Amino acid sequence: MQIQETKKTIFSGIQPSGILTIGNYLGALRNWVQLQEEYNTYYCIVDMHAITVRQDPSVLKKRCLELLALYIACGLDPEKNTMYFQSHVSAHAELGWLLNCNAYMGELSRMTQFKDKSAKQGNNIGAGLLTYPVLMAADILLFNTDLVPIGSDQKQHLELARDLAERFNNVYGQTFTVPEPYIGKSGARIMSLQEPNKKMSKSDENVNAFISMVDPADVVMKKMKRAVTDSGSGIIYSPDKPGISNLIDIYASCKGVTPKEVEKEFEGAGYGTFKEAVGTAVAEILTPIQQKQKELLSDKAYLEKIFTEGADKARYTANRTLWKAQKRMGLAPRKL
Ligand code: ATP
Ligand code: LTN
Protein backbone atom coordinates (compact mmCIF):
# COMPACT_ATOMS: atom_id res chain seq x y z
CA MET A 1 0.00 0.00 0.00
CA GLN A 2 2.82 2.35 0.96
CA ILE A 3 4.67 1.59 -2.29
CA GLN A 4 1.50 2.13 -4.33
CA GLU A 5 1.11 5.66 -3.00
CA THR A 6 4.67 6.74 -3.80
CA LYS A 7 4.48 5.53 -7.38
CA LYS A 8 4.33 8.18 -10.08
CA THR A 9 1.27 8.26 -12.32
CA ILE A 10 0.96 7.46 -16.00
CA PHE A 11 -2.04 8.17 -18.22
CA SER A 12 -2.44 7.31 -21.88
CA GLY A 13 -5.17 6.45 -24.33
CA ILE A 14 -5.89 5.15 -27.81
CA GLN A 15 -8.94 5.95 -29.92
CA PRO A 16 -11.15 3.03 -31.00
CA SER A 17 -11.36 4.70 -34.41
CA GLY A 18 -10.11 1.74 -36.42
CA ILE A 19 -8.18 -1.47 -36.08
CA LEU A 20 -4.83 -0.68 -34.48
CA THR A 21 -1.67 -0.79 -36.55
CA ILE A 22 1.80 -1.91 -35.60
CA GLY A 23 2.52 1.86 -35.38
CA ASN A 24 0.16 2.12 -32.41
CA TYR A 25 1.74 -0.98 -30.89
CA LEU A 26 5.41 -0.11 -31.39
CA GLY A 27 4.92 3.59 -30.69
CA ALA A 28 2.62 3.37 -27.68
CA LEU A 29 1.15 0.11 -26.37
CA ARG A 30 4.41 -1.77 -26.09
CA ASN A 31 5.87 0.98 -23.91
CA TRP A 32 2.77 0.95 -21.73
CA VAL A 33 3.39 -2.72 -20.97
CA GLN A 34 6.97 -2.01 -19.94
CA LEU A 35 5.92 0.84 -17.68
CA GLN A 36 3.15 -1.00 -15.83
CA GLU A 37 5.44 -2.37 -13.13
CA GLU A 38 6.89 0.92 -11.98
CA TYR A 39 3.97 3.31 -12.21
CA ASN A 40 0.41 3.82 -11.12
CA THR A 41 -1.13 3.49 -14.60
CA TYR A 42 -4.40 4.58 -16.21
CA TYR A 43 -4.87 3.23 -19.73
CA CYS A 44 -8.04 4.57 -21.25
CA ILE A 45 -9.99 3.75 -24.40
CA VAL A 46 -10.72 7.28 -25.56
CA ASP A 47 -14.07 6.67 -27.23
CA MET A 48 -15.11 10.33 -26.97
CA HIS A 49 -12.06 11.28 -29.02
CA ALA A 50 -13.07 8.76 -31.68
CA ILE A 51 -16.43 10.49 -32.24
CA THR A 52 -14.75 13.73 -33.34
CA VAL A 53 -15.10 12.13 -36.76
CA ARG A 54 -18.34 10.35 -37.71
CA GLN A 55 -18.39 6.70 -36.60
CA ASP A 56 -20.83 3.92 -37.38
CA PRO A 57 -22.33 3.27 -33.88
CA SER A 58 -22.47 -0.51 -34.18
CA VAL A 59 -18.89 -0.69 -35.45
CA LEU A 60 -17.63 1.69 -32.75
CA LYS A 61 -19.26 -0.39 -30.02
CA LYS A 62 -17.52 -3.51 -31.27
CA ARG A 63 -14.16 -1.75 -31.61
CA CYS A 64 -14.27 -0.45 -28.04
CA LEU A 65 -14.45 -3.95 -26.61
CA GLU A 66 -11.88 -5.25 -29.10
CA LEU A 67 -9.47 -2.53 -28.02
CA LEU A 68 -9.84 -3.41 -24.35
CA ALA A 69 -9.17 -7.07 -25.22
CA LEU A 70 -6.14 -5.95 -27.21
CA TYR A 71 -4.74 -3.94 -24.29
CA ILE A 72 -4.83 -7.09 -22.17
CA ALA A 73 -3.61 -9.36 -25.00
CA CYS A 74 -0.57 -7.11 -25.46
CA GLY A 75 0.38 -7.72 -21.83
CA LEU A 76 -1.41 -5.12 -19.71
CA ASP A 77 -2.33 -6.87 -16.49
CA PRO A 78 -5.84 -5.94 -15.28
CA GLU A 79 -4.63 -6.35 -11.71
CA LYS A 80 -1.95 -3.71 -12.17
CA ASN A 81 -3.56 -1.20 -14.52
CA THR A 82 -6.74 0.83 -14.48
CA MET A 83 -8.41 0.27 -17.86
CA TYR A 84 -11.75 1.83 -18.78
CA PHE A 85 -13.82 3.68 -21.36
CA GLN A 86 -13.46 7.47 -21.30
CA SER A 87 -17.23 8.00 -21.76
CA HIS A 88 -17.93 6.10 -18.51
CA VAL A 89 -16.16 8.77 -16.45
CA SER A 90 -18.01 12.02 -17.03
CA ALA A 91 -15.29 14.09 -15.34
CA HIS A 92 -13.34 13.92 -18.64
CA ALA A 93 -15.99 15.95 -20.46
CA GLU A 94 -16.57 18.23 -17.50
CA LEU A 95 -12.92 19.17 -17.01
CA GLY A 96 -12.68 19.45 -20.80
CA TRP A 97 -15.25 22.24 -20.60
CA LEU A 98 -13.38 24.13 -17.88
CA LEU A 99 -10.18 23.90 -19.90
CA ASN A 100 -11.97 24.94 -23.11
CA CYS A 101 -12.85 28.16 -21.36
CA ASN A 102 -9.13 28.72 -20.78
CA ALA A 103 -7.88 27.67 -24.23
CA TYR A 104 -7.32 30.02 -27.16
CA MET A 105 -8.70 29.60 -30.68
CA GLY A 106 -5.25 30.49 -32.05
CA GLU A 107 -3.37 27.73 -30.26
CA LEU A 108 -6.02 25.14 -31.16
CA SER A 109 -6.17 26.04 -34.84
CA ARG A 110 -2.36 25.74 -35.07
CA MET A 111 -2.41 22.02 -34.15
CA THR A 112 -1.06 19.91 -37.01
CA GLN A 113 -3.60 17.11 -36.47
CA PHE A 114 -6.47 19.63 -36.62
CA LYS A 115 -5.13 21.06 -39.86
CA ASP A 116 -4.72 17.59 -41.41
CA LYS A 117 -8.05 16.18 -40.28
CA SER A 118 -10.09 19.31 -41.02
CA ALA A 119 -8.60 19.52 -44.51
CA LYS A 120 -10.12 16.08 -45.17
CA GLN A 121 -13.58 17.18 -43.95
CA GLY A 122 -14.34 19.87 -46.51
CA ASN A 123 -16.85 22.54 -45.47
CA ASN A 124 -18.52 21.18 -42.35
CA ILE A 125 -15.66 20.82 -39.92
CA GLY A 126 -16.86 19.44 -36.59
CA ALA A 127 -16.08 21.71 -33.61
CA GLY A 128 -14.89 18.60 -31.74
CA LEU A 129 -11.92 18.34 -34.09
CA LEU A 130 -10.74 21.75 -32.94
CA THR A 131 -11.28 21.16 -29.23
CA TYR A 132 -10.00 17.56 -29.32
CA PRO A 133 -6.63 18.38 -27.72
CA VAL A 134 -8.39 20.16 -24.85
CA LEU A 135 -10.26 16.95 -24.04
CA MET A 136 -6.93 15.14 -24.23
CA ALA A 137 -5.47 17.66 -21.76
CA ALA A 138 -8.42 17.01 -19.43
CA ASP A 139 -7.80 13.23 -19.67
CA ILE A 140 -4.25 13.71 -18.53
CA LEU A 141 -4.70 16.45 -15.92
CA LEU A 142 -7.55 14.66 -14.11
CA PHE A 143 -5.10 12.12 -12.69
CA ASN A 144 -2.23 14.45 -11.77
CA THR A 145 -0.31 12.52 -14.35
CA ASP A 146 3.49 12.70 -14.28
CA LEU A 147 4.22 10.86 -17.52
CA VAL A 148 2.32 10.30 -20.79
CA PRO A 149 3.64 7.54 -23.07
CA ILE A 150 2.82 8.48 -26.67
CA GLY A 151 4.15 8.29 -30.22
CA SER A 152 5.95 11.42 -31.43
CA ASP A 153 2.90 12.63 -33.43
CA GLN A 154 1.22 13.50 -30.11
CA LYS A 155 4.04 15.68 -28.80
CA GLN A 156 2.34 18.89 -29.88
CA HIS A 157 -0.88 17.92 -28.08
CA LEU A 158 1.07 17.16 -24.95
CA GLU A 159 2.77 20.54 -25.14
CA LEU A 160 -0.71 22.10 -25.19
CA ALA A 161 -1.75 20.06 -22.13
CA ARG A 162 1.32 21.43 -20.33
CA ASP A 163 0.50 24.99 -21.40
CA LEU A 164 -3.10 24.65 -20.21
CA ALA A 165 -2.00 23.20 -16.86
CA GLU A 166 0.51 26.01 -16.31
CA ARG A 167 -1.97 28.68 -17.39
CA PHE A 168 -4.64 27.32 -15.04
CA ASN A 169 -2.19 27.05 -12.15
CA ASN A 170 -0.98 30.62 -12.72
CA VAL A 171 -4.46 32.11 -12.88
CA TYR A 172 -6.30 30.05 -10.24
CA GLY A 173 -3.55 28.66 -8.03
CA GLN A 174 -1.69 25.34 -8.03
CA THR A 175 -4.19 22.69 -9.19
CA PHE A 176 -2.63 20.42 -11.81
CA THR A 177 0.62 18.48 -12.15
CA VAL A 178 2.38 19.53 -15.36
CA PRO A 179 2.90 16.25 -17.31
CA GLU A 180 5.97 15.10 -19.25
CA PRO A 181 5.86 13.10 -22.50
CA TYR A 182 7.43 9.64 -22.66
CA ILE A 183 8.49 8.82 -26.20
CA GLY A 184 10.25 5.48 -26.72
CA LYS A 185 13.72 5.30 -28.27
CA SER A 186 12.54 3.19 -31.17
CA GLY A 187 9.20 2.91 -32.97
CA ALA A 188 8.09 6.43 -32.02
CA ARG A 189 7.09 7.18 -35.58
CA ILE A 190 6.38 4.23 -37.84
CA MET A 191 5.70 5.41 -41.37
CA SER A 192 3.24 4.31 -44.04
CA LEU A 193 4.45 1.33 -46.08
CA GLN A 194 3.19 3.01 -49.25
CA GLU A 195 4.15 6.65 -48.61
CA PRO A 196 7.07 6.51 -46.19
CA ASN A 197 7.00 10.27 -45.65
CA LYS A 198 3.59 9.95 -43.99
CA LYS A 199 2.80 8.44 -40.57
CA MET A 200 1.33 4.92 -40.55
CA SER A 201 -2.30 5.51 -39.60
CA LYS A 202 -5.18 3.17 -38.79
CA SER A 203 -7.54 5.39 -40.75
CA ASP A 204 -5.54 5.25 -44.01
CA GLU A 205 -7.75 4.37 -46.98
CA ASN A 206 -5.04 2.20 -48.52
CA VAL A 207 -4.89 -1.06 -46.55
CA ASN A 208 -1.44 -1.78 -47.95
CA ALA A 209 -0.13 1.31 -46.16
CA PHE A 210 -0.38 -0.26 -42.72
CA ILE A 211 -0.07 -3.58 -40.96
CA SER A 212 -2.98 -4.05 -38.67
CA MET A 213 -2.72 -5.88 -35.36
CA VAL A 214 -5.15 -8.49 -36.67
CA ASP A 215 -3.42 -9.18 -39.99
CA PRO A 216 -2.55 -12.88 -40.27
CA ALA A 217 1.08 -13.82 -41.00
CA ASP A 218 0.52 -14.30 -44.75
CA VAL A 219 -1.06 -10.85 -45.09
CA VAL A 220 1.80 -9.30 -43.10
CA MET A 221 4.26 -10.90 -45.49
CA LYS A 222 2.31 -9.78 -48.56
CA LYS A 223 2.12 -6.17 -47.35
CA MET A 224 5.81 -6.17 -46.47
CA LYS A 225 6.72 -7.40 -49.94
CA ARG A 226 4.63 -4.61 -51.46
CA ALA A 227 6.19 -1.96 -49.21
CA VAL A 228 7.70 0.91 -51.18
CA THR A 229 11.50 0.86 -51.10
CA ASP A 230 13.98 3.33 -52.47
CA SER A 231 16.13 3.37 -55.57
CA GLY A 232 19.52 1.72 -55.25
CA SER A 233 20.19 -1.20 -52.96
CA GLY A 234 21.54 -1.97 -49.54
CA ILE A 235 19.98 -2.01 -46.09
CA ILE A 236 21.02 1.49 -45.13
CA TYR A 237 19.47 3.77 -42.53
CA SER A 238 19.47 7.23 -44.02
CA PRO A 239 17.08 10.19 -44.53
CA ASP A 240 17.33 9.81 -48.30
CA LYS A 241 16.09 6.21 -47.99
CA PRO A 242 12.79 6.72 -46.13
CA GLY A 243 11.24 3.42 -47.27
CA ILE A 244 14.05 1.13 -46.18
CA SER A 245 14.76 3.23 -43.07
CA ASN A 246 11.15 2.69 -41.98
CA LEU A 247 11.52 -1.07 -42.41
CA ILE A 248 14.76 -0.92 -40.42
CA ASP A 249 12.91 0.93 -37.65
CA ILE A 250 10.15 -1.69 -37.61
CA TYR A 251 12.65 -4.56 -37.48
CA ALA A 252 14.80 -2.82 -34.85
CA SER A 253 11.78 -2.15 -32.63
CA CYS A 254 10.46 -5.70 -32.97
CA LYS A 255 13.82 -7.21 -32.11
CA GLY A 256 14.88 -4.64 -29.52
CA VAL A 257 18.07 -3.69 -31.39
CA THR A 258 19.40 -0.44 -32.86
CA PRO A 259 19.20 0.56 -36.56
CA LYS A 260 23.02 0.30 -36.69
CA GLU A 261 22.83 -3.32 -35.55
CA VAL A 262 20.22 -4.03 -38.23
CA GLU A 263 22.48 -2.54 -40.92
CA LYS A 264 25.26 -4.82 -39.74
CA GLU A 265 23.05 -7.93 -39.59
CA PHE A 266 21.87 -7.37 -43.18
CA GLU A 267 25.10 -6.14 -44.71
CA GLY A 268 25.20 -7.28 -48.33
CA ALA A 269 21.57 -8.54 -48.26
CA GLY A 270 19.00 -7.48 -50.87
CA TYR A 271 15.65 -5.80 -50.27
CA GLY A 272 13.74 -9.07 -50.81
CA THR A 273 15.58 -10.98 -48.09
CA PHE A 274 15.28 -8.07 -45.67
CA LYS A 275 11.56 -7.56 -46.27
CA GLU A 276 10.99 -11.24 -45.54
CA ALA A 277 12.90 -10.94 -42.25
CA VAL A 278 10.87 -7.87 -41.25
CA GLY A 279 7.61 -9.68 -42.09
CA THR A 280 8.64 -12.68 -40.00
CA ALA A 281 9.65 -10.48 -37.04
CA VAL A 282 6.30 -8.67 -37.12
CA ALA A 283 4.25 -11.86 -37.48
CA GLU A 284 6.10 -13.46 -34.54
CA ILE A 285 4.90 -10.61 -32.33
CA LEU A 286 1.36 -10.48 -33.70
CA THR A 287 0.37 -14.15 -33.73
CA PRO A 288 0.29 -14.75 -29.94
CA ILE A 289 -1.41 -11.38 -29.34
CA GLN A 290 -4.13 -12.25 -31.86
CA GLN A 291 -4.76 -15.63 -30.21
CA LYS A 292 -5.03 -14.07 -26.75
CA GLN A 293 -7.33 -11.30 -27.98
CA LYS A 294 -9.66 -13.87 -29.53
CA GLU A 295 -9.83 -15.85 -26.28
CA LEU A 296 -10.57 -12.71 -24.27
CA LEU A 297 -13.35 -11.64 -26.62
CA SER A 298 -15.14 -14.92 -25.99
CA ASP A 299 -15.52 -13.95 -22.31
CA LYS A 300 -17.53 -10.72 -22.38
CA ALA A 301 -18.40 -10.93 -18.66
CA TYR A 302 -14.70 -10.84 -17.76
CA LEU A 303 -14.11 -7.78 -19.95
CA GLU A 304 -17.17 -6.07 -18.50
CA LYS A 305 -15.86 -6.59 -14.99
CA ILE A 306 -12.54 -5.01 -15.93
CA PHE A 307 -13.97 -1.90 -17.57
CA THR A 308 -16.60 -1.40 -14.84
CA GLU A 309 -14.10 -1.68 -12.01
CA GLY A 310 -11.64 0.45 -13.97
CA ALA A 311 -14.18 3.25 -14.43
CA ASP A 312 -15.16 3.12 -10.73
CA LYS A 313 -11.55 3.56 -9.69
CA ALA A 314 -10.81 6.27 -12.27
CA ARG A 315 -14.02 8.14 -11.42
CA TYR A 316 -13.03 8.50 -7.78
CA THR A 317 -9.65 10.14 -8.51
CA ALA A 318 -10.95 12.12 -11.49
CA ASN A 319 -13.83 13.66 -9.53
CA ARG A 320 -11.53 14.89 -6.79
CA THR A 321 -9.42 16.79 -9.32
CA LEU A 322 -12.50 18.05 -11.18
CA TRP A 323 -14.13 19.36 -8.02
CA LYS A 324 -10.90 21.09 -7.01
CA ALA A 325 -10.67 22.80 -10.43
CA GLN A 326 -14.35 23.82 -10.29
CA LYS A 327 -13.85 25.31 -6.85
CA ARG A 328 -10.70 27.16 -7.94
CA MET A 329 -12.66 28.73 -10.80
CA GLY A 330 -15.34 29.93 -8.39
CA LEU A 331 -18.06 27.38 -9.06
CA ALA A 332 -20.02 26.56 -5.92
CA PRO A 333 -17.88 24.20 -3.84
CA ARG A 334 -19.17 20.83 -2.63
CA LYS A 335 -18.08 18.49 0.14
CA LEU A 336 -15.33 16.09 -0.91
P1 ATP B 1 -5.95 7.96 -36.49
O2 ATP B 1 -5.11 7.56 -37.65
O3 ATP B 1 -7.30 7.35 -36.46
O4 ATP B 1 -5.92 9.43 -36.24
P5 ATP B 1 -3.81 6.91 -34.95
O6 ATP B 1 -3.45 5.68 -35.70
O7 ATP B 1 -2.91 8.09 -35.01
O8 ATP B 1 -5.29 7.35 -35.24
P9 ATP B 1 -4.30 7.11 -32.14
O10 ATP B 1 -5.38 6.47 -31.41
O11 ATP B 1 -4.50 8.56 -32.45
O12 ATP B 1 -3.97 6.40 -33.49
O13 ATP B 1 -2.91 6.90 -31.41
C14 ATP B 1 -2.67 6.05 -30.33
C15 ATP B 1 -1.22 6.08 -29.96
O16 ATP B 1 -0.44 5.49 -31.00
C17 ATP B 1 -0.66 7.49 -29.76
O18 ATP B 1 0.22 7.49 -28.66
C19 ATP B 1 0.09 7.76 -31.01
O20 ATP B 1 1.15 8.67 -30.83
C21 ATP B 1 0.62 6.37 -31.37
N22 ATP B 1 0.83 6.23 -32.81
C23 ATP B 1 -0.11 6.36 -33.76
N24 ATP B 1 0.43 6.16 -34.98
C25 ATP B 1 1.75 5.90 -34.78
C26 ATP B 1 2.84 5.62 -35.64
N27 ATP B 1 2.69 5.56 -36.95
N28 ATP B 1 4.06 5.39 -35.10
C29 ATP B 1 4.22 5.45 -33.76
N30 ATP B 1 3.24 5.72 -32.89
C31 ATP B 1 2.02 5.94 -33.37
N1 LTN C 1 -4.92 12.23 -28.94
C2 LTN C 1 -4.37 10.92 -28.85
C3 LTN C 1 -5.24 9.97 -28.09
C4 LTN C 1 -5.42 10.46 -26.71
C5 LTN C 1 -4.45 10.45 -25.68
C6 LTN C 1 -5.09 11.02 -24.55
C7 LTN C 1 -3.12 10.04 -25.59
C8 LTN C 1 -6.54 11.01 -26.20
N9 LTN C 1 -6.36 11.34 -24.91
C10 LTN C 1 -4.40 11.22 -23.35
C11 LTN C 1 -2.44 10.23 -24.39
C12 LTN C 1 -3.09 10.80 -23.29
C13 LTN C 1 -4.15 10.42 -30.24
O14 LTN C 1 -4.76 10.86 -31.16
N15 LTN C 1 -3.28 9.51 -30.39
Q: What does the pLDDT look like over 66-107, one tens digit per residue?
A: 999 999 999 999 999 999 999 999 999 999 999 999 999 999
Within this chain, do residues 230 and 133 fall inside the same structural domain, yes or no?
no
The ligand minimizing its distance to the Cα of 53 is: 1
Q: What does the pLDDT look like over 259-300, one tens digit per residue?
A: 999 999 999 999 999 999 999 999 999 999 999 999 999 999
Within this chain, do residues 98 and 241 fall inside the same structural domain, yes or no?
no
- Alpha helices, H only, 89-148: 91-100, 105-109, 112-121, 127-141
Q: Is 199 within the bounds of a domain?
A: no
- Specify the CATH number for the domain of residue 155: 3.40.50.620
How many domains does the chain contain in total? 2
Greater confidence, 198 or 334?
Answer: 198
Within this chain, do residues 280 and 314 fall inside the same structural domain, yes or no?
no
Is the dihedral angle over the CA atoms 321, 17, 199, 289 positive or is it negative? positive
Domain extent for 153:
9-188+299-329
Q: What does the pLDDT look like over 225-243, one tens digit per residue?
A: 999 998 888 999 999 999 9
Residues with CB under 6 A from ligand 1: 14-15, 17-18, 23-24, 27-28, 150-151, 153-154, 188-190, 199-203
E runs forming strands in the chain: 9-14, 40-45, 81-85, 147-149, 180-182
Read off the pTM: 0.94
Within this chain, do residues 242 and 271 fall inside the same structural domain, yes or no?
yes
- Label residue 330 exposed, middle or buried (CB < 10 Å: 0-12, 13-18, 19+): exposed
Which of the residues are catalytic?
117, 199, 202
Within this chain, do residues 184 and 306 fall inside the same structural domain, yes or no?
yes
Within this chain, do residues 273 and 318 fall inside the same structural domain, yes or no?
no
Within this chain, do residues 141 and 235 fall inside the same structural domain, yes or no?
no
